[in-house]
Amino acid sequence: MAEDAKVAREAKLAQLLNQTFQDNNQISSTPKIQRVPLFWRQKTSFYEYCIPKMISFGPIHHRNENLKQQGQHLKSQWASLYIEEYSKEVGPCNGNKQEAANYLYGVVGYNIVELKELFAEDVIEEYSDEELIWMLFEDGCSLLYYMDHVDVQRPEELKLKLDQLMHTWRDIELLENQLPIKLLQLLSKTQGADLDYLLINFMSMGEAKRSGRTTITIPIRNHILDFLRSSYFHTEIEQNVPNQNGGIQMPPPPPPPPRPRSSLVWQTYKNIRDLKKSGIQVKVNKSDEWKWHDITFTSRWFGGELTLPLWVFSNVTPYFFRNLIAYEMCPDFRNSFECCCYLSFMDSLIDNAEDVKELRSAGVIQNLVQSDEEVAKFFNDIGNDFPAKMFNQIYTTDAIPISKKYIQVRRQIQEHYSSRWRTFLAETRSTYFSSPWSLLAFLAALSGLILAVLQTWYTIHSPKN
């Protein structure tokens, strides 16, 4: 028995010592299409916003019977209509729909090995190659048709009612409903040349097509959700470099310089109301483009000014942002946590509905559907589990480049908030100069004091009779 135990232990040790990271598990800027990370799937209140409610795309929810009742029929219709358009617009098909279908199906089949590499192994292992080829062929054609014909003003273009259009549009953005851009490039009428236009048209819900824009140039991303995420920050923040295999891989971050212990800055303010009491006013950024890091802070003698981008809360918001969070936290995705950093920063300003009201009054938040309590709950519920929160709360780190902007602003706010002199000046201004009446009362009191001093001086120094 002892000898058997020794042999088993040595076998385990040998296996442990020979463990290596596989190339297909490397962290890069082109993560595989995968499930929501397990950490978030275990939180029911979070994961319920990551599950499609009406239609599925790709392998993860393909066998969900609830989605097949209506979603599958819609996808089949859109795929058929797309193939018909393809046969008429692409020369070699000469209007032959059957020939176009055979060609597109063959394209997917010819590239199936490469396409399978774009999915996590556990989401496709239960499908045969034939099942995957048909699924990607039908789903890809239907999605391209949807992106081209989506129009919030004319939902009948997709044989939908307005409420159905909104539900399908929202489902297409979910992390577990993504199709690789490579598939859409293979199936597109122009071999991918029109994808930038289709992505913009989808994002704007048909506005691009209605406005007559035909040429739009944007960086092509991994899938629709990745494109939506990247549209909210400047592309130079994430610099992608080719790896030896021809893919795209993020360069490793530089080592952080040593920092003295005195550089630690702890956040002592609780919410936006605390900042307001110290003289800090909030204003909305007037930029035409919404970017995650369009925040600035300016400190002055009698107060400060915090500028934030406009944030709109709608029915789609809880779904969209939770899926962005899940995407940024995928274990094989090297990124800068733009969404997590932004939401963590907003969470540092919001404790309850009163803080939301302050930001709404300043024009920073537009609450279209929910109460202020629901908006505050949204930030508080998801804000506690961010990796970015620990970085932003303590001191800057080079591990997350984008977080430097938020850390810089937080540091500036904290330094202003901790200054007793500035707080005293702000309170004085608020007490005596916040309204015309308080100003008049202050001037009257000051005038009375000056007159009393002059009268006393004159009494003491007046010449004797």
Residue 164 or residue 453, greater confidence: 164
Kindly state the tokens that stand for 452: 């009393």
| Residue 212 clears pLDDT 90, i.e. is over it | no
Q: What is the pLDDT of residues 417-455, one digit of tens each?
A: 876 655 555 555 555 555 565 555 656 666 767 777 777
Q: How far is CA 178 from CA 126, 349, 444, in A?
A: 18, 33, 69
Structure tokens at 414: 């904290």
DSSP string spanning 220-252?
A: --SSHHHHHHHTTS-GGGS--EE-TTSSEEPPP
- What distance lies between CA 204 and its chain's CA centroid? 17
Report residue 231's pLDDT band, with 50, 70 and 90 as the boundaries: confident
Q: How far apart are CA 83 and CA 103, in angstroms?
A: 10
In the three-class reduction of DSSP (H, G, I as helix; E, B as strand; rest coil), residue 288 is classed as: coil
With bands split at pLDDT 50, 70 and 90, how would you rate the model's confidence at 392? very low
pLDDT for res 394: 46
Q: Comparing C-alpha atoms, which of 100, 98, 129, 105 is closest to residue 116?
A: 129
Tell the residue number behind the tokens 């021809």, with chain if given: 246
Does the pLDDT of residue 246 top 50, yes or no?
A: no
Q: Which two tokens stand for residue 9?
A: 């232990």
CA–CA separation, 454 and 237 (whole Å)? 64
| Distance from C-alpha of 242 to C-alpha of 67, rounded to nearest angstrom | 38
Return all residues near 248 (Cβ < 8 A) that are at least 6 apart. 28, 29, 30, 240, 241, 242
Question: How is the chain split into domains, by residue range?
Answer: 50-231, 261-421, 437-465
More confident residue, 404 or 444: 404
Q: Where is average pLDDT lowest: 9-18, 276-285, 328-337, 434-443?
A: 434-443
Average pLDDT over residues 247-251: 40
In tens, the pLDDT along 68-87 reads 888 999 999 999 999 999 99
| 333 DSSP 8-state letter | B
pLDDT band at residue 307 under the 50/70/90 scheme: very high
For the chain, state the CA radius of gyration: 29
Q: Answer yes or no: are the C-beta atoms of 338 and 406 closer than 8 Å.
A: no
* pLDDT at res. 29: 61
Question: Mapping DSSP to helix (H, G, I), strand (E, B) and coil, where does residue 307 land?
Answer: strand
pLDDT, residue 219, reads 66
Rounded CA-CA distance 242/200 in Å is 26
CA dihedral 32, 34, 37, 40 (to 10 degrees): 140
Among 231-235, 343-347, 359-363, the minimum mean pLDDT is found in 231-235
**Could you report how far apart the first and last alpha carbons of the chain are, in Å?**
124
- Tokens at 450, concatenated: 């000056």
pLDDT of 376 strictly over 60: yes
pLDDT of residue 364: 93
CA distance 226 to 240: 14
pLDDT of residue 86: 93
Mean pLDDT of the chain: 81
pLDDT tens digits, one per residue of 310-351: 999 999 999 999 999 999 999 989 888 888 888 888 998 999
Check residue 20 and give its pLDDT.
67
